[in-house]
């Protein structure tokens, strides 16, 4: 009996550890589709997972889009697809992981951010006084637990046009 319990326990551990979704639920907004990526990753790992689903980490190009993503994230911190170029000659130039043009929305930064010259990845923080503002963090670390106690950990974005075209081809 004891060995059966141990076997069942081990099956449960190995079955649910790093078990990733094979599909995401995409939600339309404007010309794009958005999905919550409920997996804990570094920013570039999250970007790779979004690419596997046909998108990228979310790029945000308007206050309305930022508000939509803020509501979508379910009060958790999420990676967004914004990075600072790690080149001293560029002096803090930001880009989007999807290659779209970078728009500077100074109203989107948390009033205390950006605050670290060596943190190059951007996330939307979960704090009581935060309403969709952005913060900087280390690219090679998962978001800390005090920011992200529960999923989601990222938002993916892809074009509706691409998805409609794929459906027409089938």
CATH code, 70: 3.10.100.10
Within a domain: 12:
no
| Positive or negative torsion for Cα 52, 103, 93, 41 | negative
Q: Give the residue ranges of DSSP H helices in 17-80.
A: 43-52, 63-72
Within a domain: 3:
no
Is it the case that residue 55 has pLDDT exceeding 90?
Answer: yes
Within a domain: 11:
no
- Tally of domains in the chain: 1
How many CA within 13 A on the CB side of residue 164?
7
Within a domain: 5:
no
Phi, psi (deg, nearest 5) at residue 116: -130, 125
Q: Which of 131, 112, 128, 153 is nearest to 70 (CA)?
A: 131
Other beta carbons within 10 angstroms of residue 114's beta carbon come to 17
Within a domain: 155:
yes
Q: Round to whole Å and give the CA distance between 157 and 6.
A: 42
Beta bridge partners of 57: 156
Query: What is the span of the domain harbouring residue 165?
Result: 26-169
Greater confidence (9 vs 80) lies with 80
User: Distances in Å between the alpha carbon of 137 and those of 44, 88, 99, 160?
Assistant: 12, 18, 20, 30
Q: Which helix (H) or strand (E) holds 166?
A: helix 160-169
Within a domain: 82:
yes
Within a domain: 48:
yes
Model-level pTM?
0.76
CA 123 to chain centre: 7
Q: What is the mean pLDDT of the chain?
A: 77
Give yes or no for a contact between 46 and 79, defined as CB atoms under 8 angstroms apart: yes
The model's pLDDT over 116-136, given as tens digits with 9 standing for 90+, comes to 777 888 888 876 666 788 888
Within a domain: 2:
no
User: By percentage, how much of the chain surpasses pLDDT 70?
Assistant: 69
Both tokens assigned to 123: 């996330």
**What confidence category does residue 113 fall into, taking pLDDT thresholds of 50, 70 and 90?**
confident
């Amino acid at each position: 009996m004891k060995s059966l319990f141990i076997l069942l326990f081990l099956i449960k551990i190995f079955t649910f550890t790093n078990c990733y979704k094979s599909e995401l639920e995409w939600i339309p907004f404007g010309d794009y589709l958005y999905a919550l990526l409920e997996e804990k990753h570094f920013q570039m790992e999250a970007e790779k997972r979004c690419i596997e689903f046909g998108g990228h980490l979310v790029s945000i190009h308007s206050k309305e889009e930022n508000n939509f993503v803020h509501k979508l994230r379910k009060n958790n911190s999420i990676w967004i697809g914004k990075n600072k170029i790690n080149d001293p000659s560029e002096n803090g130039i930001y880009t989007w992981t999807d290659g779209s043009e970078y728009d500077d929305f100074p109203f989107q930064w948390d009033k205390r951010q950006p605050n670290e010259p060596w943190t190059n990845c951007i996330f939307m923080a979960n704090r009581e006084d935060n309403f969709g503002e952005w913060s900087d963090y280390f690219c090679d670390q998962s978001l800390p637990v005090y920011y992200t106690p529960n999923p989601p950990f990222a938002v993916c974005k892809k074009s509706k046009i691409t998805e409609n075209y794929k459906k027409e081809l089938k």
